[in-house]
Every structure is written in structure tokens, then in C-alpha cells.
Chains A and B, each alone.
Chain A
């Protein structure tokens, strides 16, 4: 269909041009030329062509003969001039064809009529003014005619200008030199203001804003190119976000102020421990000494040089004994400080001496060697030496005071943990092999359970049945310390990635609560034996004391409230507080730091 239309179109165009030609010119020569053109154009109609050609031939030959016959000498008569003549130039009678209607024209007209009828030719459009003419578009307001769908987001309006955009702003809004330099340095997208505030003394001096068209164009782009998204603006009062906790005042007692500082060590104090009576404090430092302090007076009662950096000290929790375990390099020393009643001292002496009968199975193949000390060391109070194959990092007592565990963290070794029995001078390696690097160990206060903290998890072993009962996932990268609640159902773990996780053993193997109170690595954690308190010490130099009530009712979860941030230790070599421990009966907390001091907070 389209083909035929095209052909008709082309035909029409030609015919149109023909008719115009006929009207325009009378001059012969020009006519000739045009007819020649016609000839070229109308190659498709052979019949018409022939007629035309014959006519042409006749006409041209006549004119040529006329010109030739004229003698050269005769003056030229200007037949064709601008003057209008009243008589025709030639006397030739009119042709017949000028009286009869032209067939060609008829055909052309009929074609035009057909084209108009078919709508191919449109009449010349009247210049309608409708584009500029306005009317009341909203005469019949039907709001529901095309309800915008709910996803429609109207474009935000351009923010209104502030004082800094004024041509004469207050002086404080002008840029200082630094601000200007900063503005110039910044990426255009980072700038808070898209222009530099300027001040002009008069309105006459204000120049054109060079980015005016740009800004308008950018607005246009924003309107049609920028993806829109509905953002819910949170309109919350920040005070509402703070959890409602019981007031620390109502949770007293807890340590609030620093009351004593124990000075005397010259190296960082790695470890401290309090005697079960709460009267004495033992501390081990990197300067190679173990010091014994009186708690109430901050007086150093005794200094024992052990000849090596002390990694860990632990006072025997049995009140009827007065012994201290000290870890120095690969040796664990049993110290008898003799700071107690005579009865207690003698009973501990008895424990240290009455064991010699069973020496049978101790062969040379034993990895751990027990030996007694003599001479100078004995005078100092060092009674026993337990030689380990590797450096010992931690020692800890069982609550009965007979068993002692030591930790030697090393990769790919099955000899990481030893449990020593003091009364029988026997050592055993409870695990055939350890999974991962052991960080710390702890005894269950009541039941025969043993906690082993590796880098990422805490395993609980039943020592009687000799099997693992539970594995706690700490959700932290590297556990640093562990403490067990006196009830035995709750465990807290501090980790080097600033976290403290509280486990409720009855609830789950995942932490019941993760506390991110510290800014730096948590070095040590401790529970109070009597009060519902626990403390964590960190490299940021602070000790945070929290109140963690453990209810006897199993259905009620423990409530943890931080009650005090204790500061006092200076940070030296990026190390803050290294160890923390509670007084056994009072709500006091001791902390030892890298600044070679021990502090008591009461």
C-alpha cells in the first residue's frame, strides 16, 4: 500500500509543478527550456511525450527559419521589451486546443481531487493561534481523574538561600583565608557551599553570576535524570534511645574512688592476687620481683627476687593455707610468705613437706620436674620449684587449694596445660591434644569442671568423666582472659578486640551479652566473690565496674548495669591496666598497671 501511495505522491508533485509552469511564462525560449526539463522529468509517460516532442520540433523549426530569413542589415525591432503593447506580435490565429478543455489538465485535477478525498493532500493549515492561547484548564476539577499512584515522589524544592548568599552578607559569613584555601582544594561535590560568599559595597557593583545557567541546567537534570527514593527520616529524640537502667546509686556498694596506691615495682605489674583473708596482696612484675603488700596500709611487707619477669601470681584460695604460686619463665614457684597465723603457716608447711613417700612413678621421662629449693631461695620463702618444658603464662588454683593449673600457650603442642597436685607433688597433662592456642584456664568453683579458653572459644571439660561438656563461642577474635562466677553458672571473657562477653551456661553457648565498653583491648576480667560485681581492665587505662545481678530464679536473666568507670593508671607504652582483682569480702577492686603501680579503689 505504501508503495502505491508514494508513486501517487510523486506524480502529484510533478503535475503541480507543470501547472505552475504553464501559468508563469509566455516567453518562447524559456518555455523551451522548461519543456526540455519536463521531457527529462516525465520519462514515464511515453504517449504524452511523443505529442509534446512533435509540437516542439514544429515550433523550433519555425522560429529558426524566421531568424534565418531576416537580412542582417535591417534594424532590430525589439519585439520583447518591457513596454506593454496593445496588439499581438504575431497575427497567428489561436489554436483549436486553446478552446477545448485540456485532457491533461483534467487528468491532473482529477488526481488532485482524488488525493484530497483520500486525505493525502492536506489543505494549507490555517495559522492557528492555539499554542499561545490559554483557557481555564482547571474549569472542571476532578481530583480523582488520574490519581497519582502511590509511588509518585514529588521533586524536592530547591533549598532557600541563607545569609551567606547575600550580596552584602554579615562579616562573619565571609570566608577567612584558610576557609577559602580549603574551599578551593575541595572537590566540588564535597563543598558545603557551592560558591564563595562575596561582599559588594553597592547593588550597582554586583556582577552577573557566572554559573547561573549551569545551576538551572543541573536542576533540570536532577528533575528528569536523578533517581528518586523515599527515605524515612528518623525523627527520634536521642534521649529516648538511651536505655532506662536502674540508678547506680541504688546498686551500691561498689568501688567509686581511688584510695590507695601501692608503689615499689619498677617494671610493669603483670599480675596481682589477694589472700583469702583479704589482708594481703601479692604482685608480680616484669622487674623480676614478687612483692607482698598489706592491703590496708599499702606497705610492702616482703620482696622476693625471683630472677625473671613474673607472668602470673596466684594466692591459694584455701584460707587454711598460706601459699602463693608464681609463674616465672618456665618455672612455677610455690612461695610460702608466712604472713598469717602460726597455725595456718604450720599447716601450709605440713602440706609442703608431707609428700615424699610416693616417688615411685616419677621417671625421667616426666615433662614436669618438681624440686625443693635450698639456701638463699629457701630463706626468701620459695619452697618448691616446678620445672615446665616451656614458659608458663598463667597459674591458677582450684578453690580447695590442692590443685594448681598452669598454662604454656604454644601452637601445635599437646603440652599446653598442666594440672599439678600439691599434696602428692604430681603433675598431669589432662589433654591428649589441644585445639588451638590456650589463652587461659579456670577451675569451676564447685563442680569438677575445667574451663579452657582458646583464641576464639571456651571449652568446658568434666574432669571426672574426662570429656568435653560444652563449647562456648565467644564471638571475638582473641580471648585474653576468663573469669567464672562464684555460683559457677556464669562466665565472662575479655578479648583483645575490646569486647567483654557474658555467658550464661544454662542459657546458650553464645554470649548472653556482648559489652563494648572499652576503647582498647581488654586485658583482664574478674568477678567479685560475694557482691554482684564484675570488673574489666583495659589498655585504655580504665577499669569498668559493672553490676551484674545473677538471680537464683533461673527464668530471670541477669541484669547488667555499668556502675563506675575507674581511672587512675597512666598509659605507658600503649599499655594501661594489666590485671584486676576484687577483694574477697569488701567491695573493693585492685588493679595493676603498666605504670608500675597497683591501685586500690574503694
Chain B
């Protein structure tokens, strides 16, 4: 025989993975540095398929990285920057210890810095890749831009985040890319479609944060470092694609409009320009000033059969989108001071509306409350002292609901002091068999152009359904009664008692052939299920369990809704009496 005996764990998956500690040693980095490197380079642990094989027979819980990933990190230029920084810190400490202030100053001037441009390019080789991953970057930047400028992180970072988010919002306004908005208890979700990519981000409500103690801000800061770089480059590219000037500048016309005599009272001149930008009330300057964009029309290609239908559907969608983009066109909004200004201004401007607010709220207001041409005033208080005749006083939810419904909803439900209809999530797409809240059905009817009197019909339908169910129940009951009777007779027979002989007219039992067939088929299926293999049975059971749970949940929601409506009705009746 001869030959060397094969050793275990020297080939196969055991050699493809490396534990975190070994990776760290291989890179000669401290744990915080390793963590930072992983965050910046986007290296994450992998779950091996056979953990025991990779773990050399042990079952201890360990995180594994791909060896290839770690090798890839070895040549990263930023690692040497980390080392330089480490040395810098050591020198600085020493200088401090020796109270050599001049040395401290000199060292601080030469503080090593690094750029993340190449990493961004490497992680996102194409622009679309970057856009696909921008969700988290936006969320993080929006969060950091709301931080107070003390404590938790560098002021520059906060300022940069704010700047980038304002740029992003200005871009979304300019490109009219916003599609959906959702007011949740966590914050406001926005969804925009940028270059065919759906991008969702979450903005917290404008409150100061109480910073939790169990959160490591260094990790967040490292992420933010990468995200700001990424977002900056993305913004640049996006502005370029729209022929906008980057860094953003206000339109010359708008700039004149916004000029105020007492501007200096508000802020320093350098800051006020930026503040005006972040007020989101006016359009941006373009490199090539084109007043109207030429709409790229879809070319007509001769198509046939199924493609035709698809094509038509797409065209229809396109038209709908065009309509949605312009739903607020021609409307003039005025925002009261108790309403979140930035969010509303952003949304209204995204859909072509004009918006303004009280001068004392924020810089950048374009007209006053007294303006006669205002069509809607957004108010979030029970009543207003002085009401103007020719405008609607509406609650802010109207704006968001209109955007999600893609049409202008009737304003009556959103007047001052009126109990608002529920605000639904635009991200839920109901499939067959899912529960659909009645409000959604109503909106869908409105979208189809139907009059909002479909309610009664629905109710009638529901009642009919109920009747059907009742009938079935009755049948069941009959069967049960028969069975009971039979049992009783059997018992009497077995006890030897003479039966009460009585002839009753027999009932004609109508057999429903369709139902019989159904039952037969159901039994066939049950029997076939018994013959399934163990593995398939397990899978089948799992799928069926999921399906059943879905149905159960939908039923539960429907029942809850019904109970609620009934309670409401009863209350109303009582009130009427």
C-alpha cells in the first residue's frame, strides 16, 4: 500500500474558512482596527455549510470568515494608515505626557488621514451597485444629521451628514423621484425610484435623542464615515445626471426672491445660503438652463400577442406615474408652525406643489398666510382662530395619503378636528387570500374612478356570505341530530327494551352531487398524503402550516375589524337615541 496517510482538515472546506481571531492575527491588527476594516471593506462572516468540518471536529460556537476575504484584506492600503494612526496616537500621548505643547501642535497638524474613495469604488464597481446599497447610508446619514452637536460624535460629521441629506432631498425634488411616503411610529419612511432602483429610507421625527448607553457609537461612526463618502459620490453623480450644479446652488431667480432685508439677523451670510438650500422651498441652478425637460417618449415597436399586453400595461403604468408626479401641481400650500415643516415641504415639492410657511419658523418662506391664492393650509390643531374663505384647512395626513393613493383624495375626511381615517402602509401589496383593510378597498375604488358609495353593496355581499355559512351550519346540525337519534335507538335496542314503534314520514335527503364529489376528492387527497415519503411529508406539512397560519391571521383580523365596527355601530345607535 504505502503512501502517506491523509491528514484530516487539510483540504476541503476546513481550509476555506478562518476564525476571527486567526484572521486578526494574520492581519496583525487589534480587534477595534479589524472591526473597522471589516466595516469599511464590507467583509462579513460566513456560515459554513458543515460547521463541524470547518471547526476541525469541534462544535464550539465560532464565527468564520472566508480565507479569500482575509487574503483580500492583506493588501489593503488603509491597513498601513491604521498603523500610522496608531503611531500618531502614541506620539501624541508621549508629547502630552512630556507637556511639549509645540510638539503636540505639530503632531496634530500632521494627523494622518485617509480617504475611502478607492474602497467605495471597489465595493461598488458600478453606479447602480452603489444605488442598490444606498438605503442604509441614507438612514444613517438622516439619523446622524439629527444629532445634537455635542458629545456623541464629531461636529464635522454631523454637518457633513446634514449637507449630504439636504443634497439628496434636493435631488429627489428636482427629479420628482419620490413614490411613497409612510408615517410610522418610528419615523417617516420615504421611497424613491432613482434610475430604476427603489430606495427606501427612514427619517426620525424631529426630537432630541436620549442617547442609549448600550450602543457603541464608534461602530456607528465608522459606518457613517463610509456612508458619507458613498453618499457624496452618489449625489455628485446624480446631480450631474440632471445637469444640476454640484455643490447645489439656488436658481438665480429664486435667489433674488429669497433675498431679505433682515437676513443677517437670522444667520451669518455663509450659513444663511445653506439654510436656504435646506429649506427646500426653491429650485436649483442648472448647468445648462433648460426650462422644460423633453419627455423621453417610448418608441413604438411593432409587437404581437402577449408582448402587446405587456407593452400596454407598461404604457398605462407610465401614464399613471406621470399623473402621480403632478398631483400637487397648481396647488399652493401653507404650512402652519405646529406641522413638521421639512417633511411636508419635501413631499409637496416632490409632487409639484408650491409651499410656504411663516417667516419666523424658518428661512426661505416665499409667501405669507395672507396670500389669497393659497389653496390648502396644513394645520394640526383642533381649530384655527382666523380662517380664510377660499382655502381648505386640512390635516397633514391628507398630503401623505394623496401621495400614496396617487390621486387627490376628498378633503372632507381630513378637515380640522375630524377623526382621521386610518393611515395605511403603501408598502403592503396584498396577494390573493390576504386580509385587505376596508379603507384600502375604498381607496382602490376611488382610484378606479368609482363613486364612494360602494360600502353598502359590500355590506350586503357580506351578509349574503353569512347566510351561506348559516345554511351549511344548519345542515350539519341536522346530521348531528339524526346521528343522535340513531344512537338512542341503538342503545334502547341493546338494552332489550321494546322500541317505541312509531312511523314518521321520512325526509327526503337531497344529496348534492357537487359536494359529494368534493368530499370524495378530499378523501382521495388525504389518503394520498398518507403515502408521502417522510421527507416530503415534512416539507408539505411545513408549507401547509404556513398557509394555514396566514389564513388564520387574515380571519383574525377580519373578525377583529367586524367586532370593532359592530361596537362602533352600537355606540352610534345609542348616541342617536
Contact = CB atoms under 8 A, between A and B. Distances in A.
A431 B457 CA distance: 83
A94 interface: no
Contacts of A166: 182-185, 422-425
Interface string B21-63: 0000000000000010011000111110100000000000001
Contact of B544 (A16, A163, A176, A238): A238
Given A134-B233, A224-B44, A167 B223 contact: no
Contacts of B132: 154
A427 B335 CA distance: 107
Interface stretch (B203-211, B268-276, B383-391, B507-515): B203-211
B189 interface: yes
Contacts of A106: none
A168 B422 contact: yes
B524 interface: yes
B185 A212 contact: no
Contacts of B532: 241-243
Nearest to B117: A137
Given A202-B420, A203-B397, A210 B210 contact: yes
A499 B294 CA distance: 74
Given A138-B237, A160-B200, A212-B209, A217 B185 contact: no
A434 B381 CA distance: 92
B107 to A, nearest CB: 11
B285 interface: no
Contact of A226 (B44, B102, B246): B44
A195 B437 contact: no
A102 interface: no
Contacts of B68: 149, 151
Nearest to B565: A171
A220 interface: yes
Nearest to B439: A170
B528 A243 contact: yes
Contacts of B121: 137-138
Contact of B45 (A154, A215, A226, A243): A226
Interface in B394-441: 395-397, 419-420, 422-425, 427-428, 437-439
Nearest to A239: B525
B135 interface: yes
B427 A162 contact: yes
A242 B528 contact: yes
A107 B40 CA distance: 47
Interface in A158-215: 158, 160-163, 165-173, 176, 195, 197-198, 201-204, 206-210, 212-215
Interface size class of B (residues with CB under 8 A): 35 or more
B236 interface: yes
B561 A171 contact: yes
A142 B493 CA distance: 92
B557 A172 contact: yes
Tell me the interface secondary structure of chain A in the complex. loop
A209 B236 contact: no
A224 B439 CA distance: 41
Given A168-B420, A171-B422, A242-B540, A195 B530 contact: no
Contact of A212 (B110, B182, B187): B187
Interface in A249-277: 249, 261, 263
Interface in A534-575: 544, 560-565
Contact of A142 (B46, B125, B214): B125
Contact of B184 (A122, A153, A158, A167): A167
B64 A217 contact: no
A165 B182 CA distance: 9
A335 B56 CA distance: 71
A201 B528 contact: no
Contacts of B46: 151, 153, 227-229
A223 B49 CA distance: 20
A466 interface: no
Nearest to B494: A263
Interface in B90-112: 100, 102-103, 109-110
A198 B212 CA distance: 22
B327 interface: no
A153 B233 CA distance: 24
Given A170-B561, A224-B38, A143 B126 contact: yes
B236 A213 contact: no
Interface stretch (A25-33, A42-50, A123-131, A455-463): A123-131
B133 interface: yes
B355 to A, nearest CB: 16
A220 B182 CA distance: 23
B297 to A, nearest CB: 27
B240 interface: yes
B560 A171 contact: yes
Interface of A: 13, 16-17, 20, 122, 124-125, 130-132, 134-138, 141-143, 145-147, 149, 151, 153-155, 157-158, 160-163, 165-173, 176, 195, 197-198, 201-204, 206-210, 212-217, 219-221, 223-229, 234, 236, 238, 241-245, 247-249, 261, 263, 515-517, 544, 560-565
Interface of B: 35, 38-39, 43-47, 49, 63-64, 66, 68, 100, 102-103, 109-110, 113, 115, 117, 120-122, 125-127, 130, 132-133, 135-136, 139-140, 143, 160, 182-187, 189, 200, 204-205, 207-212, 214-216, 219-220, 223, 232-233, 235-237, 240, 246, 338-340, 380-381, 395-397, 419-420, 422-425, 427-428, 437-439, 490, 493-494, 520, 523-532, 534, 536, 539-540, 543-544, 547, 557-558, 560-561, 564
